[in-house]
Amino acid sequence: MSGERVVVVDDDDGFRHLVVASLRSQGFNIVGSADSAASGRDVVARERPDIVVHDVRLPDMDGFDSVPLLREAAPDVLVVLMSGSHPADLESRRRRERVTVIDKAHPPMTWGSLLRDLLVEFQRNPSGAPAEE
């Protein structure tokens, strides 16, 4: 696979730009980015990406709560959440929403192969992406 279409949603401008630049350098086609869940959903509805990389904690909406809205906007999208912390309820919420959570402590330069593997698995089994990291 090459040039997978990605939208990045994070309210931290610096981290969002780092993820965008890192994924672009790994051959991903960044079709949009947003600093809020609401604007992220709009970009996803307009661009219909393959993958959405979305922060768990945003000022306007929790990333887990955003997942159904993203899937409504683009039913075939793989949603991967990013988190800088791992609260006790993260595991149960991750399973309920059938999403993967990437630890922000892992440098975005290492995410390319993981995202591609997750996309392949998701395309084989769209009812729920496997949970890694």
Instruction: List the domain boundaries for the chain.
Output: 5-124
Tell me the backbone φ, ψ of residue 105, rounded to 5 degrees.
-70, -25
pTM, two decimal places: 0.86
What is the spatial distance between Cα 82 and Cα 53, in angstroms, rounded to a whole number? Answer: 7
Domain 5-124: top CATH class:
alpha beta
Q: What is the pLDDT of residues 50-77, one digit of tens each?
A: 999 999 999 999 888 999 999 999 999 9
pLDDT tens for each residue of the chain, 133 residues long: 568 999 999 999 999 999 999 999 999 999 999 999 999 999 999 999 999 999 999 999 988 899 999 999 999 999 999 887 765 557 666 666 778 888 787 888 888 888 988 889 888 887 654 444 4
Would you state the structure tokens that stand for residue 101, as one six-digit string? 């959570």
Which DSSP helix (H) or strand (E) runs through 3?
none
Cβ burial, residue 38 (10 Å; 0-12/13-18/19+): middle
**Nearest CA to 70 among 89, 90, 87, 48?**
48
